[in-house]
Amino acid sequence: MQVFDEYSSILNEALETFKPQFIEGMDEYSLIKSLKLPPFELFDDQALRDPLTLFQTHFILFHHLYQLRAQWRSQGVGELEIALTKITLLPMTSPSQKHSHLFEDTQLSKDTHSDFSEDTQLSEEFSKDTHSVQSQTHSIETKDPLADYYLNWDNLNETSTEDVEDLLTSFWQKMAGFDQSNLLSQTQLNEMLSVLALPPVNDGRKLLGLAELKAQYRKLQHQNHPDKGGCAERSKAILNAYNKLRKHILSAA
């Protein structure tokens, strides 16, 4: 479960950086595409072509979006309205208004599909799986059935807790692409270390471990996060360096 916890934490932090896009409104496909690119690189392009993995991507993304919605509600940031066609950050509303649009926009728009015209099969499989999810959630009799559905890991795969944890770990390992292609050259390695204000690996110096890397990443993000008055570009550069170094360490293990 350690691998999943690590990626889950990174995904949470990555989603927070999309606050400006959420204010404007952002569809799920665009969000996934952005998360596949630097500095995030959380999703592997080839792995997303597999229908099952694509559904897992959708579920895990929505799980974290609903977590973010709860976080931003408690912080008074705003109300994150989550739908397949658009994810929008709205001003805080009264409790009676919060769920007024809960079941709107449950089918993908033609415009959304056109963005992925180069991969029609992916879009069709994604639509098929996500429409199935939406139909299931309508049967749940609670105030917020969609949130209940996506926040319950058991719904990702109707199996035991142990099997769900194995599935999540397997998913993130697949997304990370733990292979030799993630190994950095000496120059690239030291460039990423420099971004994180870490000493270069020269003259046989052993590369730091994941725990040390994460501690330094947390420290720098705390200092440079835009919400704390830091620079957004610097924060993204730190995230990019951390992701590349983490993949390098895991692939070299």
Would residue 173 count as lying in a domain?
A: no
Supply 116's token pair. 């992925």
> Do the beta carbons of residue 98 and residue 72 sit within 8 Å?
no
Same domain as 61, residue 23: yes
Report the C-alpha gap between 67 and 25 in whole angstroms: 18
Report the C-alpha gap between 87 and 54 in whole angstroms: 18
Would residue 18 count as lying in a domain?
A: yes
Q: What is the pLDDT of residue 202?
A: 76
Between the alpha carbon of residue 202 and those of residues 90, 207, 217, the distances in Å are: 50, 9, 21
Ranges in the chain, pLDDT < 50: 96-120, 123, 127, 131-142, 159
Same domain as 191, residue 159: no
The total domain count for the chain is: 2
Report the C-alpha gap between 133 and 63 in whole angstroms: 13
Same domain as 136, residue 40: yes
Same domain as 209, residue 119: no
Q: What is the pLDDT of residue 61?
A: 92
Same domain as 131, residue 6: yes
Q: What is the pLDDT of residue 118?
A: 45
Domain boundary among 165, 188, 208: 165
Same domain as 66, residue 40: yes
Report the C-alpha gap between 73 and 103 in whole angstroms: 19
Same domain as 193, residue 154: no
Domain enclosing residue 188, as ranges: 180-252
Would residue 171 count as lying in a domain?
A: no
Of 13, 14, 40, the closest CA to residue 240 belongs to 40
Q: Please give the model's pTM, rounded to 2 decimal places.
A: 0.52
Supply 236's token pair. 């993204």
Would residue 174 count as lying in a domain?
A: no
